[in-house]
Structure 1
Amino acid sequence: PPPLCFVSRPAPPPPFIKSDIGKDSISPPEMPLNEKSDKTINLNKMRERQHQYKTAALQAKHNGDTSLAIQYLKVVKKFDMVIKMAEDGQEVDLSDMPPSPDQFLDFLSKLQKQSEEGNKELPTLRESCENPDNIGIKDISSVSLTMEEALQQRLDKYKSVQDLANAEGNSSKARRFGRIVKQYEDAIKLYKAGKTVAYEELPVPPGFSPLPSERASAINSDDPVDTVIPKHSEAPNGETNSNTGSSEKTPTSLTAQTSPQKHDLTTRTSGNQQKNNLAEQQMKVLLERQAEFKIAAIEAKKAGEIDQAKEYLKIYKGFDALLNAASSGLPVDLTSLPLPPSQRDNLEASFAIVSTEECDPENELSDIGIRIEEQLAKQLMMCKNTRDHHKAMGDVAGMNRFENLALAVQKDLDLVRYSKHKNLSLPKFHYEKRSFNIVHCNTDLSDNELEIIVVRGLNYNVPNPKDVDTYVKIEFPLVNDETFKAKTSVIKNNDSPDYDQHFQIEINRGNRQFQRIFKRHHVKFEVYSRGGFLRSDILIGTVNVKLQPIETKCDIHDTFNLMDGRKAVGGKLEVKLRVRNPILTKQVEHIEEKWLVVDS
């Protein structure tokens, strides 16, 4: 980077608005009577000049000169800010006040010429900085600070604002800046102890250059670092006329940036300031989003959409609180910000617009009526089936509950069918989210029965698939090392036979030996191919079905691969095991239904 260059020049003139906060002064002194009268006179002058610009803006709008009207409105907004600062007791210099509206255009042209002259003087300034021997250079060490001094400078600044907030009785502001003071005190302790300090997490006061965190680890505490004295903030367009005289006589120099100037920490940071910490990044995002809504409000007003413009303006005003919080170093949830107007337009453009000619309300109503009737018929069937299920289980309370629900659904169904038959308008309806706890139970079985169903075989791996005759042997373990054995009938000339045979086994669910069988053992299925004359039957494959799921479920229904030991031989067998209730607990299923209800 080029070497720093400091050019001696007279002190810059005071800005339009002065808001100095002294370190030692906690509460402002009482104002003499003559000063109060002077401030009242100044306020009256500013209000009168603001009224002139409002009138000029309206006249320009009536004349069709929109750009000039916008310029006048900007000046009116500037007056609002300055009047508010003056009412809060801050000093205002009326020498910087814009002239009357009839002289405003000449005033703007002068400002443009002065800005062009200032831009022409920049190359000469760069040449002087590249040749420091030709000009007087100040001692850099006199304007340099160590990291500890820079941290202490910011700590003193935040402490002064905290004391002022306590004196004003603003407890919220005092607590907010108290947290920032605590951050800087901890950072100074860590720096003195030689430990790592997270400089990027420390908020930077408005008007102060950022801490050189990228160089803090590479230098010692005794070495000087770049100056961290706050820079001058740029004045608004309407407030630069006080500096025009000095800018014509003396070239702009870098010393204007090194002279300290105090700022109110609750104001927003400059847009030209380097954004290198979280708070400043949040400020940048918030200002950009706020500017989008401002532009959208102006465009909506031009298009005649007053309601839309008011909505955008409300959102624009809502960003002020977020900006104040971000400027104070507090975190802001950027995900909760409203969508930008451009994204809103894209979202609305994704919807298809249908004209009235393309709609047939009679067909639409008839389709809705058919769907309502089908939905109510489905709900009625579900209520009746569940009622019968609870009745077979012996659950009288559950049976009555679904009986009453079925009556209500039947009433709604009759009303819809009557309206459809008489060509009346459909009754009003709505959907409700209802939850049901359904107890699964195979009511056709007794408590001491277990049913095994051999359903079918699939794609047996045999050499003669069209001529094979197959059957299935079943082995179920019982107590006292006994075994229940059965086999299905022979299905001829098919490698995918449908057996569909049921076998009932008596069990004693209260016997502990039976409970251990369900926990540890399995049912064995062996698929055989029947042999011919003087030939024995050939084993095709074996299936072992574990009984442990029966402890918590009423059914086991699945297809299983035929195995030879641990090797799959090809083909599958579909089987099903059923009990009335699970061995250990009941099987309860929680169901949530979107329930249609007709408004009576």
Structure 2
Amino acid sequence: QTLENMLASVKKGKKINEEEIPPPVALGKGASSPQPSPASPLPTAHPGSLQQPPQPPAASAPKPQPPPILPKPQALLRGRQREYKLAALHAKQRGDLEMATKYYRVAKSFDSLLEAAGNGHPVELSSVPPPPGKTQNLAREQRGAKAIEAFLRLSPETDVPPPPRDVLEALQQRMERYKTAAAQAKSKGDDRKARMHERIVKQYQDAIRAHKAGKTVDFSELPVPPGFQPIQGTETPSGDQSIAGVLETAMKLASQEVHEEDDGAEKAKVGVSGDSGPPDAEPPSSPVAQQQLAFLEGRRKQLMQAALRAKQKNDIEGAKLFLRQAKGLDPMIEASQNGLPVDITKVPEAPVNKEDFVLVQRRGVHISPEAASQYLELMKLIRQQHEMCMNYSKQFTHLGNIAETTKFEKLAEDCKQNMEILKQAHARGFPLPKYHYEQRTFSVIKIFPELNSNDMVLSIVKGINLPAPPGVAPNDLDAFVRFEFPYPNAEEAQKDKTNVIKNTDSPEFKEQFKLYMNRGHRGLRRVLQTKGIKFEVAHKGGLFKTDRIIGTAQLKLEALETACEVREIIELLDGRRPTGGKLEVIVRIREPLSSQQLETRTERWLVINPSTMPPVTWGGATAPSPSSPHLTRVRLPPPRSRAVPTLPSLNLLAFDQEKLERKMLAYRQAQRPVPPELREQYQDIAQRSQLLRSRLQHGDPPFRKEYLAQLERYLQLYTETARRLGTEGNR
């Protein structure tokens, strides 16, 4: 009963007198079982509290057991880290990515503890989280992970700050780390290393200023201090940085260390390697992210189509350019798919195919001159609408406004659909489709995207009733204009003059001058508000005669604070006396200096109604083949014959469309380009199906009745053809 009482006391945490423990009894190999059982749970139950556990004697004489002391700190930490890595792998295989991520973060936090323990520093094992068993409480694991993070913050060896809340805090943490390293290098007399760290601190200071100003910062160019994780949102899209890649790496390490679980580790490796990174990434859920992704994919599609058109025209260089631009969008699309914001101002412009706005008439199709003129007029209006939409889309793209950019891209696509309806109707000789006008109101931001941020363009348009100097008739006036913009200062003022317009007192100059300004310069606003631009209108002197000034004017530019264009007709003065003459000038900058210039524009918008198209004929002289439902095989009599259907069947169109899709898919799977003829056939069938479906939805009852009659003719035609082919033995 002595040993049992001692064992009960030890379990209750009481102390015992080791001298009262009886000596071990040699009973052979089988006598070693009683003693390890009471001592085995002690290290795992309270790893931090048993710094000096009791040492019961070994019970085996042939193979004496060592006393059940606590394992070394490195062994305990490494074993616990291995358990968390395996738990992360199992959670990943179950599809629980959230739990896998938590387990892996806890496992990674052991690295610093192992490093500190390896350097001989004391490690408080009470902060080690418990094993991640199935019966463990997640709250205890999280508390253990927080305890490790607290230890890391206090450890002088690791010196890794807590995880940052945002990008700005991450930059500041890294800058402080390099400041500390520079100070340490200076104290040790290593000036070269100190200067290197100070240069890195300067890079981080510039990056912090740019980030606060809302500018894009390339974090990949900033050095990362040892032990710091990549800034959130800037991780490389490689497989090693994704959760699947990280877990796969952890599994390999665990499989190397845990020899007794080789089979299980191999199965886990196959399971993880089979899961690729992209399927784990969920599509963006916010509306802005979805708009961003749709915009990028649409722009890539436009660039790929432009590359294909250039290749068909044997413009290899142009095709390569568009292809490079399309491929350059892949990283942005991948980032958008992962829910990260992208800078759409760097997206290349959408190429415009001029052939889309050209009407082509088929052979044998006759259109009256009046109808042809109306077609051209409608096409001109649609082209203008399309250009307007693309200009607005370009402006909002430069501003980074994805919502407005997407809206105008959609309007431009609608214009292309209307244009396609016109082209199809014109090519087949149909009467002009019905159309109507709508009032469309747009809220746009006025901007001149062709100008740079520091450009100012001065346009001197014309003079009006300029006064002639004494002795000169108005019709003999040879006028020109000099101007002076006192920026950046009066000594370095920007000056220029127009050409001379002879023999008129109302000359039209129509000249532009590009001036320079710095938006961030403090003196710019003072110059614009107080001085502006000074003008002198002069009469050109003849031989040995000087130029004579006939009037001066000054244009104040304070309106550029809230507007990007100033258009004024300023009065010419002789001193302070009005001369009666005037000068029209325009000043433009890219965008207002202090705010955006919002405008509300109402446009008269042309809309083509596809439901008013005439019956869609199938090429005029083709009909179903007896041997195949494909509708382009057999030539039939003119459309007046009752046997020739004038409307295709939606089911037959769908069959043809599906057949073409299979052919195109075969080309793509073979990594070969789809032939243009095949693509054109597919687009033609899709257009016919769309027009017919629209007519059936919005058409009148007589049209639907005619369509049913055509389907009955199809049924009769195919039945007779099948019966005839069957009697001929052609199965």
With the length of structure 2 as denominator, give the TM-score of the two structures. Answer: 0.29
Higher relative contact order (CA 8 A, sep 6+): 1
With the length of structure 1 as denominator, give the TM-score of the two structures. Answer: 0.35
Asked which structure has the greater CA Rg, the reply is 1
